[in-house]
Every structure is written in C-alpha cells, then in structure tokens.
C-alpha cells in the first residue's frame, strides 16, 4: 500500500518543471563561463553555482509549503514586501538606482519578493470573490498591483515594473474577468501614456528612444550608453553563427568587438548564442516554451482556485520576463536591466524563481485538494469557460 501511494505521488510530480529549469540553469552556467572569459572582470561562475544550489533549496522549500498557509498569509507577505520596497530609499543609490538592501557581503533585491507576494495576494483576492467580474470590482486588484509597481518604477527599475501588468491581466482573465472590461482599462492606460512619459526619468526615456534610433550595420552611437549596449549585444550574438565559438572557434581576434557590459547578467543569452550559435539560442527559447506550457498545464489541471491562479501568475511572470529580456538583446524592446530567469547571474532573482517553481510543483502535486475553502466558495471557471461567457 505504501509503495502504491509513493508511486502515485511520483506520478503527480510535474517532472518538466524540474528538468527544464535544470537544463536552463546549465545553459546559463555555460554562458556565464564564456562571459567570464571574454569580460576579464572577475569570475562569477563559481558564485553562480552556489546561488543555484541555494535556489534548488528554495525550490524544495516551495514544494513543502502548504498552499493553505501561503493563501492565508499572502496579505502579510505583500505588506512586508511593500515595506522593504520603501526601505531601499534609506540606503544610498547603487549604480544610479535604489533597488537593493545591503546585507553585509550580499545585496537583497526586494522587488523579487514583491513579484511573488503580489501574485499570491492577487490569487487569494480573486479566488475568494466574484467582484472582479464587474468593472468597479477591478479597482482593488489594480490597486494591489499598482502600489508595488509604482515603488519599483521609482527606484528606478523599468524592467521589473513592466512585469506586473501582464501578470495581473493573465490572472484576471483566468479568474473570469470580462474581456471588454480589461480592454477598456487597457485603452485608458494608452491615453495616460503621455503622463507616464513625463513622470519617468531621463535614463528610462533614453532606453525607450534607443530602440527607435538603432541602425543595423552602423557604428554604435557615441555618448549613448543604451545605443552602445544594443549594438554590442546584437554584434556578439551574431558572432556565434550557426554553431558558435565552441565548435568553430572565435571569429575575430579583437577583444573590443566582444566586449559587452552586463554580459553575465542581463545579456547572458548573447553569451549562450556566441558560444553555441543559433542552435544554442533556439534550444534556450524552446526550453522556455516548454516551461511555460508546463506551467499552464499545471494551472489547467488544478481544481483549486487559489492554486490555479498562483500557477497562472508565476507562468505569466516567467514568460513575460523571458520575452522582455530576449527582446531587448536584439533591439525589439527597450533595454530594461531585467534578468533572464534561471540563467542570468544573481542571487535574489534565482532564489525567488526557485521558490515560485516550487510552489507550482506543490500545486501540481495536489490538483484535487480543495484547500479547505468555505463551502460557499465555488471554484473559478476555467480559462475556456471564462472565454465562452465573454
């Protein structure tokens, strides 16, 4: 009987949510190793191995956390993350922004915690009420999202702040919000873009305008940092060719041609592409696609409203972060200083990504657990049912 129970538990494990992150992490290590070789600015490979080990521990913790406890404490953790986002302004800026809290030899980035706690708070809110199916009922979910978004944008951190709205929309749609309500709010947001433009910093504006000023085949813009970063990222990525320097060797002997700031953090995909070529880049994108589909499958098979919404939020978060990061390396979106999940060097990002994946595994392991919700609370409709009603 125990053997049968153990076999059933193993079958409930979403193994793609375990194997795919490991494969992405290994590709990231290969890219960081290549970045260490080309940058000559210190070795981050060994540190990344340590962070990945800690992230694996965080993922294990996520698989052990009772989802009922996560649901009950969601508002508390959101409040903690907002207070930490306010605390960053107490410390002096680092690299021109206030994103980190120094902890001795380490720096903690509260925005990474805020992303996950906002998802948990929204999942609790949307799973316990039907008010979001009315236009005025969308005010509270948007306020829950806009508070951390605004604090992160003020740091300034344009990239991380851009992740919150796709997550909110994905969760609202899954919870059964009406499509025309969401479209109406999106149109209102477009009308407010001039106010948003006047409120952001000059640095953030330059990141956006650099996308429209790029000229392929020309020299990088002098005195424009983002233009230089964009030129170098596309150039280094193109040096990989079809199979990369790992197979065909380095194409150019000029070290300056390979110089790319943040090549082991924001632009680690360029290092993977340079080392393994187009094949490595496409493999990376394929793995992220598998990860996203696995997350949606977990959400689709869960009968618990909170677990389903939590899985959707995490999946949209990782997918949006991947799209923005990969898009900025080839000039499709502004350079926002956002990491590539599981691959970029960094501690806070890896730890909370591991924790988020662990929570998704927990949702998949308990797809039929009603989480002891009140009997009056019926499970939210599936995304397909919500679409049909709209």
Alpha-carbon span 103 to 221, nearest angstrom: 38
Residues 290-329: pLDDT tens digits?
Answer: 999 999 999 998 889 999 999 999 999 999 999 999 998 8
Q: How confident is the model at residue 220 (pLDDT cuts 50, 70, 90)?
A: low
Q: Quote the pLDDT of residue 129.
A: 84
What confidence tier does 249 reach under pLDDT thresholds 50, 70, 90?
confident
- Cα 231 to chain center, whole Å? 24
**φ, ψ dihedrals at 156, nearest 5°:** -95, 145
The reported pLDDT for the residue numbered 258 is 82
Mean predicted confidence (pLDDT) in 46-61: 94
Rg (the chain; Cα; Å): 21
The pTM of this model reads: 0.87
User: 31 CB contacts (<8 Å, ≥6 apart)?
Assistant: 264, 268, 269, 270, 271, 272, 275, 343
Question: Could you identify the residue written with the tokens 């090549």?
Answer: 263
Q: For 101-120, what is each residue's pLDDT tens digit? A: 888 778 889 999 999 999 99
Per-residue pLDDT, 383: 41
Please report the pLDDT score of residue 384 as a whole number.
Answer: 38
330-386 per-position pLDDT tens digit: 888 888 778 999 999 988 899 999 999 999 999 998 754 444 443 333 444 444 344
CA distances 81 to 124, 371, 375, Å, are 16, 25, 31
């Amino acid at each position: 009987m125990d053997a049968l129970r153990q076999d059933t538990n193993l079958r409930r494990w979403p193994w793609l949510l375990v194997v795919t992150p490991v494969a992405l992490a290994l590709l990231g290590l290969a890219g960081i190793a290549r970045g260490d070789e080309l940058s000559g600015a210190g070795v981050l490979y060994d540190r990344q191995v340590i962070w990945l080990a800690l992230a694996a521990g965080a993922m294990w913790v996520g698989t052990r956390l009772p989802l009922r406890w996560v649901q009950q404490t969601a508002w508390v953790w959101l409040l903690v993350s907002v207070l930490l986002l306010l605390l960053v302004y107490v410390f002096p800026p680092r690299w021109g922004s206030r994103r980190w809290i120094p902890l001795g030899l380490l720096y903690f980035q509260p925005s990474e915690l805020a992303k996950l706690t906002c998802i948990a708070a929204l999942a609790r809110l949307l799973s316990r009420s039907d008010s979001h199916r009315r236009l005025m009922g969308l005010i509270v979910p948007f306020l829950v999202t806009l508070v951390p978004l605004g604090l992160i944008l003020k740091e300034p951190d344009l990239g991380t702040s851009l992740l919150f709205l796709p997550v909110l929309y994905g969760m609202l749609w899954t919870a059964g919000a009406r499509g025309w309500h969401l479209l109406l709010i999106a149109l209102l947001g477009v009308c407010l873009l001039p106010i948003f433009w006047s409120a952001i910093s000059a640095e953030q504006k330059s990141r956006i305008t650099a996308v429209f000023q790029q000229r392929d085949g020309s020299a990088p813009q002098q005195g424009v940092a983002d233009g230089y970063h964009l030129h170098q990222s596309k150039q280094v990525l193109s040096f990989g060719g079809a199979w990369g320097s790992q197979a065909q060797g380095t194409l150019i002997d000029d070290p300056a041609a390979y110089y790319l700031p943040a090549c082991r953090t924001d632009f680690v995909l360029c290092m993977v592409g340079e080392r393994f070529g187009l094949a490595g880049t496409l493999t990376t994108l394929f793995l992220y696609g598998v990860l996203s589909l696995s997350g949606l499958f977990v959400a689709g098979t869960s009968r618990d409203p909170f677990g389903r919404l939590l899985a959707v939020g995490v999946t949209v978060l990782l997918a949006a972060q991947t799209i923005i990061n990969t898009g900025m390396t080839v000039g499709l979106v502004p350079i926002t200083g956002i990491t590539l999940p599981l691959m970029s060097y960094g501690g806070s990002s890896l730890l909370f990504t591991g924790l988020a994946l662990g929570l998704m595994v927990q949702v998949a392991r308990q797809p039929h657990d009603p989480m002891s919700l009140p009997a009056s609370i019926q499970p939210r409709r599936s995304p397909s049912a919500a679409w049909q009603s709209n």
